[in-house]
Amino acid sequence: MFEKSKEFFSQAKLYIAGGVNSPVRAFKSVGLNPLFIKKAKGSKIYDEDGNEFIDYVNSWGPAVVGHANDLVVKKTEAVLKNGFSFGAPTVLETELAKRIVEAFDSIDVVRFVSSGTEAAMSAIRLARGVTRRDNILKFSGCYHGHSDGLLVGAGSGASTFGIPSSYGVPVDFAKHTLLAEYNNLDEVEDIFKKHGDTIACIIVEPVAGNMGVVTPKIGFLEGLRNICDEYGALLIIDEVMTGFRLTYGGAQHIYGVTPDITILGKVIGGGMPTACFGAKEDIMNQLSPEGGVYQAGTLSGNPIAMAAGITTLDILKSKKPYDEFKKNTAKIVSRAVGLAQKYSIPLSGESVGSMFSLFFRENKPKNYAEVSQCDLRLFSNYFAGMLERGIYLPPSQFEANFITMHHTLSDVENTLVVLEEVLEDIAAGKLYV
Ligand SMILES: *Cc1c(COP(=O)(O)O)cnc(C)c1O
């Protein structure tokens, strides 16, 4: 079924490190070869072997209006013909910025960059520049891109100062990152009591999506806001995944919390590489050329990415798919958990808007430590079984599933039929990997 992909992967490995340009694509954690994708349209994705799948990866989030959406293709093509990049301002940048500013009360102005990694890195530099403090606080299991200070794991024993979670990150950089458990406000308070006058910012995913979908407990995000206010630190809400995906705007509107700096990416580029960070003017005017915090980018605000982003946001604004999203993901999760009970397989699930996760453990997790207790052997078999039957899922228990405007009720029903077959097989002891 996957012969061509297998061959293309061995060729890719001759020329590309590990055969992929981002590690999770390699399917290593589930012990399989990755699929080579030929094209995608709407809710479907097609591999080089000619197999069709219902897609729940959706480019890891950006494809919220469906793959190769006709209007996005048309508007982007028109811009493409005028040239790809000028390294000079275009009206398109103002147009996309205006839409973002109008959607977020917490943002007066933005700055565009080319990836979420770059946006998070720049936002943290800005927070450090504004506060003149060096330390930052992040949460275990939250992902904010792969810049040095953010590739940090929990220190041993009682130490709250981070240690590098990747070779190549200097210990001297990692020690400026303090770590706390998601949803544990007491721990954050304790850290601030000891180190509050050295902490420039807290950075947080308002709904965590990079340890599977984990929602904030009631009061958690407001608590972070209050702690930041008390100690003069900035609150950075990383909405790279959640922005324009959970609502037209961000998770900050759903949970009623106002950050100092917001980070956006994924959806705002409609599948093209763009991201941004934004805040009130008094913070943003500390960036160069007006202020002393340096930040730049050759391809920042790329016109093709701007056109894809503008059209994507306009579709979301007029079609308002958000209630439909919520219904469909809630249905998948509740029916999946019911099926798993029928076959005595431990499964829990979480959904928010167009994001959802199924966790192979009894109760839905509230933090990274709990997600880590999932049964990964069950997950791998579920993943492989679904793939063989035409459902393309993220190949890791720690990644969120996404739906798009083109995921119909029949896509959802078909997925659940397949899920039942796979769970029945697993319960009967059939192993896929
Ligand atoms: C994807 C993601 C990033 C990183 O974005 P890239 O474009 O992959 O660099 C940062 N933060 C969150 C919350 C993300 O989901």
Each residue's pLDDT tens digit, 271-283? 999 999 999 999 9
pLDDT score of 158: 57
The architecture that CATH gives domain 70-318 is: 3-Layer(aba) Sandwich (3.40)
So what's the pLDDT on residue 13? 98
Active site residue 248: no
Low-confidence ranges of the chain (pLDDT < 70): 155-159
> Look-up: residue for tokens 């006709």?
70
Question: Distance between CA atoms of 180 and 239, rounded to whole angstroms?
Answer: 19
pLDDT of residue 190: 97
Q: From the CA of 146, give the closest atom in ligand 1.
A: 9
CA distance 36 to 86: 32
Task: Look at residue 157 in the predicted model and tell me its pLDDT.
Answer: 58
Residues with CB under 6 A from ligand 1: 115-117, 120, 143-145, 205, 209-210, 238, 240-241, 265, 275
Tokens 């930041």 correspond to: 228
The residue whose CA is least distant from atom 15 of ligand 1 is: 241
pLDDT score recorded for residue 223: 98
- Which residues are CB-neighbours of 313 under 8 A, at least 6 positions away? 96, 99, 100, 103, 244, 248, 267, 268
Q: Which of 143, 151, 207, 267 to mutate to test the pocket of ligand 1 (most atoms within 8 A of CB)?
A: 143
Residue 112: strand, helix, or coil = strand
- Please list the residues that pair with 113 across neighbouring strands: 275
Tell me what pLDDT residue 115 has.
98
C-alpha 339/C-alpha 331 separation (Å) is 12
CATH class of the 3-68+321-427 domain in this structure? alpha beta
DSSP code at position 216: P
Q: Is 49 a catalytic residue?
A: no
Q: Is 193 marked active-site?
A: no
Going from the C-alpha of 317 to that of each of 273, 306, 355, the distances in angstroms are 21, 16, 18
Whole-angstrom Cα Rg for the chain: 21
Round to whole Å and give the CA distance between 179 and 139.
5
Of 55, 238, 260, 411, catalytic: 238
Residue 317 DSSP code: H
> What are the residue boundaries of the structural domains of the chain, listed by start?
3-68+321-427, 70-318
Ligand 1 nearest atom to the CA of residue 60, by list position = 1
Predicted pLDDT at 161:
80
Percent share of the chain, pLDDT over 70: 99
pLDDT digits (tens, 9 = 90+) for 313-345: 999 999 999 999 999 999 999 999 999 999 999
Q: Supply the pLDDT for residue 163.
A: 87
Cα–Cα distance, 159 to 329 (Å, whole number) = 39
Helices (H), 183-242: 185-195, 220-231
Topology match between the domains 3-68+321-427 and 70-318: no
User: How many Cβ atoms sit within 10 Å of the Cβ of residue 14?
Assistant: 7
**How does 269-300 read in b/e, with b if 16+ C-beta sit within 10 Å?**
bbbbbbbbbbbeeebbebbeeeeebebeeeeb
Q: How far, in Å, CA of 433 to CA of 378, rounded?
A: 10
Instruction: Report whether 127 contacts 136 (CB < 8 A).
Output: yes
> What token pair was written down for 397?
């228990």
Contact 67, 22 (CB under 8 A): no
**Best probe residue, ligand 1, of 24, 114, 240 (max atoms within 8 Å of C-beta):** 240
User: Which atom of ligand 1 lies at the shortest distance from residue 239's CA?
Assistant: 13
Cα gap 391→320, rounded to integer Å:
26
